[in-house]
Structure 1
Amino acid sequence: MKLEEVEALKQELLNKKKSMSKEEILKKQEDFDTLYIYESTNFNNDDFTYEDVEFLLEDHSREFPDKKRNRRKAIINNYHALQMIHRLSSKKIAYDEEIVKDLHQTLVDGIIGGGVYRSRDLFILGAKHVPPSYLKIYKKMDDYFEKLRNPQLKGFERAAYAHLQFLKIYPFVDANGRLARLLLNYELELQDYLPVSITKKLQDEYFDAIDEYKINKKTEPFIDFLMKLEAERIKDYIKGE
C-alpha cells in the first residue's frame, strides 16, 4: 500500500462525509465504537462476546453475574476514554502528558489507581522486549512528548511513533496496550483519518510489527500495517459497510 493511495482514499472519505447527515456520521461512529471496544478490551481474553459489549453499552448499569466485574468495568471505561478522544480530536486538541494521564485514569477507573507512572519494573510474559526500568520512565516520557511536538513528525510516521514508542516505554502498571491503541486513533483522527480496530486474525501481524520496532528500531513494518488497515477501513466506510 502506497501513501498516495491512502491519501486519495482519505479525500474520497472527506467528500463522502460532506454528502452525509450528522445522524449518519454519528451512527457509523457508534457502530465502530462498539466493535473497537469489543476488540480492544478483548485483546487478551474472551470473557465477553460482541453481543455482551453491545448490550452493556446500551445501558451501562447492566450487570453480568457470570462474568468478571473488572472486565465489565474495563469495557465501560474504554467507552468513556474513546469518547474523550473523539471529543478532543474533533477540536484539534493535540494530547500532552496531562491528557494521557487523564485517559489512563479513565481506562482504569474503579479497577486500580490511574494516571500515575509505574513505580516498579515490569516483565511481560512471552514478550521479546523488557520495558525500561521505572527509574527511566519520566525522562523517556519527556523525550516522547518532546518528539511529538516536532512539526516535522507527521502523517503515518507520527501515528506509528506515538503508538510504538508508548508501548516500548510501557509507562503504566496496566492498560498500556489499550491506551496505546487509543493514542494511535487519536493521532489518526487529528489528521482526519478514520480510527481503526485490530481484529484477532490480525494480532500476530500487529505484534510482529511492534516487535520490529522494539527490537530492531524499524517503524516501516508497522507503518505498512497501519496504512493497509486504514485503507480497508476507509473503503468499508465509503461502501457503507
Structure 2
Amino acid sequence: MHQDILEVDKLHFNELREHVGEEKFFILLNEFVKKFTYESITIEGKNALSQEDVYNLLEKEVIVTQLPEREQKEALNYKKAFAHVFKLVISRRRLNEDILKDLHEILVEGIFVGGQYRKVNIQIKNSMHQPPDYVKVYDRMAKFFYDLEHFKGTAVQKGAFAHAQIFKIYPFLEGNGRLARLVLNYIIMFDGYMPISIPLSDKEIYLQSIDTFKVEKDLSPFVDYLYQLLVNSYEQYIETLESL
C-alpha cells in the first residue's frame, strides 16, 4: 500500500520539479540538508548545538568560539559528506567499500583519523545486541558488500538493510549512526528517490525498529517505517515546491 502511494507521489514530485526548474529544486535540497544535518547529529543524543546553531553554521560555514568546536566540525562535515553522496549519485557511482570509508573519513575530518575499521571491542549502551568482536569486522563487512551487491528487493528495502547492518556491525569506532543514515539516502537516491531525514520525534520507533533487526533479524518494521516516512516526506516536498 505504502509502496503504491510512494510511486504516485514520486511521479508527481518529478513532474513538479521539472515544471518549477532546478533553481527551486536546489532551494528545497539546501533546506533539506540543514534539517537532515541537525536531526542526524542530534537523534542519538550527543549534539550540543541547537537547530538555530546548526542552520546558522551551515549557512555561514564559520566555526565560532562560543559553541563546542567538535560539534560544529561534525555538522560541517555532515554537509560536506551529503554533498559528496549527491555528487556520486549524479555520477552513477554505486556504493562500495572505498566509498564507504571515504564517507566516514569526511564525517570525522579534523576530529580524528577516519576511514579505518575499529580495532577494539565496544559495548553499546542500552542495546540488547552488542557488535561483533573487532577481529570479525573485516569478514562481516566483506559479506555486507557481497549481500548488498546481490540484494533482491526494492531500493527502500536495500537501503533499510544497509542502514541496519551498519548499526549491527558497527564497523567504525565512532560515527556509525551518521554514516548509516547517509548510506540509506545514498541507496534510495541512486534509485531516483528524494532523501529522507529521521525526525527527532520518531527517535524511539526508529531505534526500536533497528533493535528488532539486530536481535530478531526482522527488517520489516524498519522497512515499513521508511516507506511511511518517504510518503510523508514526499507530501512535504510537493507542498514546498508548490509554494516556492
Q: Same fold (TM over 0.5)?
A: yes
TM-score, with structure 1 as normaliser:
0.96
Aligned equivalents of 2:153, 2:116: Cα separation in 1: 27
The residue that corresponds to 2:236 in the other structure is: 236
Q: Comparing 146-155 with 82-91, which one deviates more in the overlay?
A: 146-155
Q: What's the % identity of the aligned pairs?
A: 32
Contact persistence 2:47–2:71 (CA under 8 A): no
How many Å separate the matches in 2 of 1:13 and 1:79? Answer: 24
Match of 1:188 in 2: 188
Q: RMSD of the alignment, in Å?
A: 1.3
Q: What is the identity, as a one-letter code, of the residue corresponding to 2:199?
A: T
Identify the residue that residue 160 of structure 2 maps to in structure 1. 160
Residues in 1 aligned to 2:3 and 2:59: alpha-carbon distance in whole angstroms: 38
The aligned runs of 1:143-158 (5 Å cut-off) are: 143-150=143-150, 152-158=152-158
Deviation at 1:197, TM superposition (A): 0.7
- Contact 2:63–2:72 at 8 Å: present in 1 too? no
Matches within 5 A, 1:23-172: 23-43=23-43, 44-63=45-64, 65-150=65-150, 152-172=152-172
CA deviation map 1:53-97 (0-9, x unaligned): 11111222231x232211111011111001001111122211100
Task: State how far apart, in whole Å, the 1-side matches of 2:161 and 2:200 are.
Answer: 22
- TM (norm. structure 2) is 0.95
Equivalent-residue separation in structure 2 for 1:222 and 1:205 (angstroms): 9
1:190-239 residue CA offsets vs partner (Å, 9 max, x unmatched): 11111111111100000111011000000110000000000011011111
Name the CA distance, whole Å, in 1 between partners of 2:37 and 2:82.
8
Aligned positions, number: 240
Q: 1:160 Cα shift?
A: 0.8
Deviation at 1:151, TM superposition (A): 5.6
Name the CA distance, whole Å, in 2 between partners of 1:219 and 1:3. 16
Mind listing any 5+ residue stretches in structure 2 that lack a counterpart? none
3-state DSSP of counterpart to 1:19: helix
Partners of 1:104 and 1:60 in 2: how far apart? Answer: 20
Moved segments of 4+, more than 4 Å: none
